[in-house]
Amino acid sequence: MNLPVTLSLALASLWHRRGVLALVTLTLTLSVTLLLGVQYVRTEVRQAFSNTISGTDLIVGARSGQLNLLLYSVFHMGDATNNIKWQSYQSLRKDPRIEWTVPISLGDSYRGYRVVGTNESYLDHFRYGDGHALSFTKGHWFADTFEVVLGADVARKLNHKVPEEIVLSHGTGRVSFMNHDAHPFRISGILKATGTPVDQAVYVSLEGLEAIHIGWESGVAIPGQTVSSEKARALELTPKSITAALVGIERKVMTFQVQRQINQSDLEPLTAILPGVALNELWRILGQFERTLLGITGFVVVTSLIGLVAVLLALQAQRRQEINILRAVGASPRLIGSLYVLECTLLALVSCLLALALGALLITVLGPWLAENYGVVVRLRLLDSTEWLILAAVPVAGLLVGFLPAWRANRKLAQTSGF
């Protein structure tokens, strides 16, 4: 068989039939884009996901499942089952094996964004991605009881600047009817975007949270029992409880020992989780869905390939004369067969190239929009090996299904060739 001749014939033949073939190629292109896109975004999301928190050895909260604790403490999703006593938190701080702790107190919100009560240690110890620390586009970490730091998305979406004043809402609903109107907070700083839930949160001091809840012990403000901001400053504002704590262990080998000890604490029922393990478990659950999605898009590609072969088979009827001529000038049945296989493979290859271009275009155009509206950061990058494999599988599949028209052509040749 003569490959250069076959190849040039296949190319000329495809170009000759471009009108009909453009549509099936488009179908295949879209389905390959879908398949590749799902895998690409899957990789990206997983990356972003595992980058959410780093450097923290343990997360400690009230007794609950590790996923629940991870979700509310790191992703600010759902609510804590219970709080942990300030006393328990203090005992963590005193533990010599524990290098640092970061208190986290949740429960309020600002226009749907979670309010995180914490202290300076959050800025010092919270890390994301490859150990990146938080930094500011403007201003500084809160220094006063009534100062607030905004995550990047919060500031951008609500168009807040330093040093505007904002009023927090009681509870975590997107629309709240109970606002802490008496205690406005001044914006002291705005964080740089991180691509993590940090961007969607609002940070205040534990004391600030304590102050605005004086007189709210029953869940609503009782008139006469609340205090003004000025008076509050003079009060003892140490919280009685917090929601969770991030913990850094001095010697990492002690992590499991500390975890076990916290889980068996005498003070109150506590749960300590390893963030990495919990993230993995969460991803395993989410991953089921994504694998299913990938499987479905795989079938979409298979369907498109079948459509492609159907069109090639339909075109075969028009090609009887042409094949007869090629046979007459000495083309072997193998050459005719490889012409069909090659055409199918080339179309699949073209679809893959178009899908790559289309995918790159979509990511460039939709990336910023995704990041802004859904907080999903999808960057343009080179494909990883899995993605190349998926992409390469398409022309290979094209080659395999191309044997169908080739086989049929050869069967017909045996019956009806010649003059």
Partner 1 sequence: MTDAAQVSSAPAITTRDLTYRWPGADLVITYPDITLARGQHLFLQGPSGSGKSTLLSMLCGLASAQAGKLVVMGEDLRALSAGKRDQFRADYLGVIFQQFNLVPYLNTTANVTLPCRLSRRRRQRVTGSPEQEASSLLKALGLEPGDWQRPVTALSVGQQQRVAAARALIGGPSVVLADEPTSALDTDNRDRFLELLLGQAKAQGTSVILVSHDPGLANHFDASISLGAPS
385 vs 415, beta carbon nearer partner 1: 415
CA-wise closest residue to 168 among 119, 121, 210: 210
Tell me how far, at minimum, the Cβ of 395 lies from partner 1, in Å.
22
A 10 A CB-CB count for 419 gives: 4
Instruction: Kindly state whether residue 13 participates in binding partner 1, applying the rule CB under 8 A.
Output: yes
User: Which among 14-22, 56-64, 220-228, 352-360 is the span making contact with partner 1, rule CB under 8 A?
Assistant: 14-22
User: Which among 9-17, 104-112, 127-135, 395-403 is the span making contact with partner 1, rule CB under 8 A?
Assistant: 9-17
In angstroms, the Cα distances linking 97 to 93, 193, 213, 247, 249 are 9, 33, 34, 10, 6
CB 347 within 8 A of CB 23: no
Tell me, what amino acid is at 352? C
Tell me, what amino acid is at 394? V
Residue 208, H or E segment = helix 206-212
79 vs 322, beta carbon nearer partner 1: 322
Residue 120, H or E segment = helix 120-125
For partner 1 (CB under 8 A), the number of binding residues is: 25
Instruction: Kindly state whether residue 105 participates in binding partner 1, applying the rule CB under 8 A.
Output: no
User: Which among 106-114, 250-258, 297-305, 320-328 is the span making contact with partner 1, rule CB under 8 A?
Assistant: 320-328
Tell me, what amino acid is at 41? V
User: Which among 77-85, 131-139, 266-274, 410-418 is the span making contact with partner 1, rule CB under 8 A?
Assistant: 410-418
Instruction: Kindly state whether residue 22 participates in binding partner 1, applying the rule CB under 8 A.
Output: no
Instruction: Give dist(CA 347, CA 416) in Å, integer.
Output: 28
Instruction: Give dist(CA 104, CA 245) in Å, integer.
Output: 6
223 vs 418, beta carbon nearer partner 1: 418
Instruction: Give dist(CA 248, CA 405) in Å, integer.
Output: 64
Instruction: Give dist(CA 288, CA 284) in Å, integer.
Output: 6
102 vs 331, beta carbon nearer partner 1: 331
Tell me how far, at minimum, the Cβ of 416 lies from partner 1, in Å.
10
Instruction: Kindly state whether residue 25 participates in binding partner 1, applying the rule CB under 8 A.
Output: no
> Cα 311 vs. chain centroid, distance in angstroms?
38
Q: Which of 177, 289, 374, 419 binds partner 1 (CB under 8 A)?
A: 419
Instruction: Kindly state whether residue 314 participates in binding partner 1, applying the rule CB under 8 A.
Output: no
9 vs 279, beta carbon nearer partner 1: 9
Instruction: Kindly state whether residue 418 participates in binding partner 1, applying the rule CB under 8 A.
Output: yes
Tell me how far, at minimum, the Cβ of 343 lies from partner 1, in Å.
11
CA-wise closest residue to 211 among 72, 108, 88, 104: 108
Residues 321-340 that bind partner 1 (CB under 8 A): 321-322, 324-334
13 vs 27, beta carbon nearer partner 1: 13
Instruction: Kindly state whether residue 177 participates in binding partner 1, applying the rule CB under 8 A.
Output: no
Instruction: Kindly state whether residue 121 participates in binding partner 1, applying the rule CB under 8 A.
Output: no
Instruction: Give dist(CA 248, CA 284) in Å, integer.
Output: 25
Question: Residue 174 class from Cβ within 10 Å (0-12 exposed, 13-18 middle, 19+ buried)?
Answer: exposed
Tell me how far, at minimum, the Cβ of 342 lies from partner 1, in Å.
14
Q: Which residues bind partner 1 (CB under 8 A)?
A: 2, 5, 9, 12-13, 15-17, 321-322, 324-334, 415, 417-419
